[in-house]
């Protein structure tokens, strides 16, 4: 198999959570461009329709399954509808996320639980539900979206719940990778730095000093810059890689 052929996802099906906007939308497009069928999932029907249209323009077959991923029955329905439509799921990208910028002493129980519920609990359930499907088939690749925040404390904003949730995502990735490797399932994580999305106000001047000037590349990233890494982690190009955390942060964490 040639080098470029290892990145080819033709005939595969990828489910991308939180794919109606931001990073998830870019991931869906990247996987589609690599040849995969794509299952779009989120809560916004209008936004999902826009992603469907974008994928159709790329010649990509897609399916939308609107779901609340914090509810196990909804995750199980996401899997069943994906399998019913495409026959199987080969790739899962756990991208859906939430963040609260607030000092620790001001974080409410509801805010803490919301961040943990989306970033960690829902990811865990998706890994378990789709992992069972993949281990039974003896193949599959799961990509969890972590963050450089799993290994640093961001500033000037405080976000303890987010940081803790992403640190947990990284270690859960390693735990599941060790357990499921004998079953043919690989699990890795992508840890982005500051990327221009609705969740990350990278254009706000008050953050430039810490978010941009402190990074060796002295800039923020764009969602599409992460797309090739997702294809790498999802495909046979990373066949000898599991339990790894791929950091893409413009060098932010080298200091």
Distance CA 249, CA 191 (A): 8
Q: Is the pLDDT of residue 115 over 90?
A: yes
pTM of the model: 0.97
**Of residues 81, 34, 42, the one with CA closest to residue 60:** 34
Q: Is the pLDDT of residue 149 over 90?
A: yes
Distance CA 99, CA 89 (A): 28
* Pairs from 213-219 (Cβ < 8 Å, separation ≥ 24): 214/252, 214/255, 215/249, 215/250, 215/251, 215/252, 216/250, 216/251, 216/252, 216/254, 216/255, 217/250, 217/251, 218/250, 219/250
At 64-81, the pLDDT tens digits run: 999 999 999 999 999 999
Rounded mean pLDDT of 226-252?
Answer: 98
Mean pLDDT score of the chain? 97
Give the Å distances, CA to CA, from 190 to 23, 49, 244.
11, 26, 9
**Of residues 96, 30, 19, the one with CA closest to residue 63:** 19
pLDDT of residue 198: 85
Distance CA 221, CA 247 (A): 12
Q: Is the pLDDT of residue 199 over 90?
A: no
Cβ burial of 164 (10 Å; 0-12, 13-18, 19+) is middle
Is there a cis peptide before residue 162, judged by omega within 30 degrees of 0? no
Rounded mean pLDDT of 15-32?
Answer: 98
Determine whether 194 is an active site residue.
Answer: no
User: CB of 52 within 8 A of CB of 62?
Assistant: yes
pLDDT of residue 1: 86
Q: Is the pLDDT of residue 140 over 90?
A: yes
**Of residues 192, 171, 188, the one with CA closest to residue 239:** 188
User: CB of 51 within 8 A of CB of 14?
Assistant: no
pLDDT of residue 18: 97
- H-state helical runs in the chain: 22-33, 45-57, 72-86, 109-116, 122-137, 160-180, 205-207, 223-234
pLDDT of residue 227: 98
Select which of 162, 194, 220, 252 is catalytic: 162
Taken in order of first residue, the domains within the chain and their CATH numbers are 4-254 (3.40.50.720)
Q: Is the pLDDT of residue 59 over 90?
A: yes
Across the beta sheet with 91-94, the strand order is 62-64, 37-41, 13-17, 91-94, 140-145, 185-192, 245-248
Place of tokens 């339990």: 243
Distance CA 216, CA 253 (A): 9
At 171-183, the pLDDT tens digits run: 999 999 999 999 9
């Amino acid at each position: 198999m040639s080098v470029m052929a290892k990145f080819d996802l033709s005939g595969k099906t990828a489910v991308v959570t939180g794919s109606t906007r931001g990073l998830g939308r870019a991931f869906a497009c990247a996987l589609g461009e690599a040849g995969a069928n794509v299952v779009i999932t989120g809560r916004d029907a209008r936004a999902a329709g826009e992603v469907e249209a974008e994928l159709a323009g790329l010649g990509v077959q897609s399916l939308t399954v609107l779901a609340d991923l914090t509810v196990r029955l909804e995750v199980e329905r996401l899997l069943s509808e994906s399998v019913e439509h495409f026959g199987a799921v080969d790739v899962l990208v756990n991208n859906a996320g939430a963040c609260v910028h607030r000092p620790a002493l001001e974080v409410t129980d509801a805010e803490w639980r919301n961040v943990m519920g989306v970033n960690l609990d829902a990811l865990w359930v998706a890994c378990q539900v789709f992992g069972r499907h993949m281990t039974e088939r003896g193949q599959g690749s799961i990509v969890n979206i972590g963050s450089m925040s799993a290994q640093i404390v961001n500033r000037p904003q405080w976000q303890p719940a987010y940081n803790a949730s992403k640190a947990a995502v990284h270690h859960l990735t390693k735990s599941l990778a060790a357990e499921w490797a004998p079953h043919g399932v690989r699990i890795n994580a992508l840890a982005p730095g500051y990327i221009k999305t609705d969740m990350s106000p990278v254009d706000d001047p008050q953050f430039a000093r810490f978010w941009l000037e402190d990074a060796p590349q002295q800039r923020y990233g764009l969602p599409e810059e992460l797309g090739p890494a997702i294809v790498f982690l999802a495909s046979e190009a990373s066949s000898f890689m599991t339990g790894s955390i791929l950091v893409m942060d413009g060098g932010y964490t080298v200091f």
